[in-house]
Structure 1
């Protein structure tokens, strides 16, 4: 601002100097040269511009006023800028505080994550140890289960061995009454009149004996014939395979006859034995047709 007024002052001095010089030039060697200038000016027809100091001052005043208004506007803008800068500085300070707090929080979180990672590592190690022990325990359990199964099998075999001497059955064909039973093709005879069935291994419903244990068994069957139409053939089968057979043909001179047979068999567990008939066989209250068997010894 001071430099601006200094510039205005210098400009005024220059204008005053020009005015004074112009007055002094009007008298040269004690003569008035105004007429000479006027004549020269008229001859050249180029009038010299006249300076109006008051106009210059008014212009300068207006310029100074405009510059002052602009300066005040710039001062207001500067003040607003200073306020904005101050606000920005305060916001930057707040952001720095927040950033510092966030960095501190991040550091704490990193430390917590590292602690959790270390704890997780320890937990994983413990889990691996527990898994190893679990695998060992599972192996031990499987081993114990195998031992238990072996013991169960041994116990079953022991029970079967204890029941070896308790396997025996005997049955006849008809429960009551008398008459012939006819099977043209070989079919299983069902001996329904059960005398003895220790262990219940013979079925009076199907006619099959089922071996409860592996061992050696003795079987015997008898059959009686009174038919004048068909012959009598009885055969013992093991798992549907014929083993032994006995039979008799019809004869006018000998209308009644009996047949029998017996065999010792080696049987596995769940092997089945039955009697099959081809022809006619008789049974009555005397129970002439029978099927019997029992275990000799187990293996």
Structure 2
């Protein structure tokens, strides 16, 4: 724009002061042609400026779109992560709901069990319930299949001429006991106990009868039971 104005001024001055035959003389036709060229040049320059502005706007818009795409992808990834976490939590809850562990077994037999010369693991052979299969009627041992809180009970029936001492063990640790002294005036005794235990997978729970103890195994008097209260 500045160049064209200067040239127009220059040529305008030339037209005003130069005369035909002078070297600086420019005819009106030549001047018009130059003026048209300058105008075309101005138009091209304006078009270039407009295209440049449009390009800058497009670049800025593309950058904004890129940011939006990145933000959208980030939000989608976060949503996918939350969805996966929710699905895993639902699966864990379903597994916990499906895990059922409970058993009841009686000492079995037609009569007296014991006395023995040494402490003996009491085997409850008459299985009443064994959902989950965690109790073994061949060893008398319950093995925890999952981590959780379990509830156990033991009851016994005994009579003359021996007393009874039963201990419930968690692995090698004595936890609770039930006991009756030798009957003197009574013909029989009954006893029992119960406990909540927090167990890990593989922990074992069982009952041991002390040496010289005696229980009555008939008619399902003496029992050992347990069940999973809640997984941890």
TM-score normalised to structure 1 length: 0.45
**In 1, are the aligned partners of 2:113 and 2:214 still within 8 Å (CA)?**
yes
SS at match of 2:103: strand
Aligned to 2:167: 235
Aligned to 1:172: 106
Q: Which has the larger radius of gyration?
A: 1
Aligned to 1:248: 180
CA distance in 2, matches of 1:178, 1:217: 30
> Cα offset for 1:221?
0.3
> Cα offset for 1:157?
5.6
> What whole-Å deviation, never above 9, does each CA across 1:220-241 have from its counterpart, x for those lacking one?
001111231x310011000021
CA distance in 2, matches of 1:261, 1:195: 19
SS at match of 1:296: strand
> Cα offset for 1:160?
4.6
- The structure where helix makes up a greater share of residues is 1
TM-aligned CA distance change 1:191 to 1:158, over 3 Å: same
Aligned to 1:161: 96
CA distance in 2, matches of 1:257, 1:202: 27
* Selected match of 1:296 from 206, 224, 229: 229
Compute the RMSD of aligned alpha carbons: 2.2
TM-aligned CA distance change 1:200 to 1:155, over 3 Å: farther
SS at match of 1:222: strand
> Cα offset for 1:269?
0.8
Task: Tell me which of the two structures has the higher relative contact order, counting C-alpha pairs closer than 8 angstroms and 6 or more residues apart.
Answer: 2
Q: Give the number of equivalent residue pairs.
A: 143
CA distance in 2, matches of 1:273, 1:297: 17
Matched ranges for 1:136-147 at <5 A? none
Runs of 4+ in 1 over 4 A off after TM superposition: 153-160
* Selected match of 2:207 from 272, 275, 278: 275
**In 2, are the aligned partners of 1:160 and 1:213 still within 8 Å (CA)?**
no
> Cα offset for 1:187?
1.7
CA distance in 1, matches of 2:187, 2:106: 22
CA distance in 1, matches of 2:174, 2:116: 16
TM-aligned CA distance change 1:161 to 1:248, over 3 Å: same
**In 1, are the aligned partners of 2:160 and 2:183 still within 8 Å (CA)?**
no
CA distance in 2, matches of 1:180, 1:249: 16
> What whole-Å deviation, never above 9, does each CA across 1:259-288 have from its counterpart, x for those lacking one?
10000010011111001111111121x211
Which residues of structure 1 form unaligned runs of 5+? 1-152
Aligned to 1:221: 154
CA distance in 2, matches of 1:224, 1:260: 9
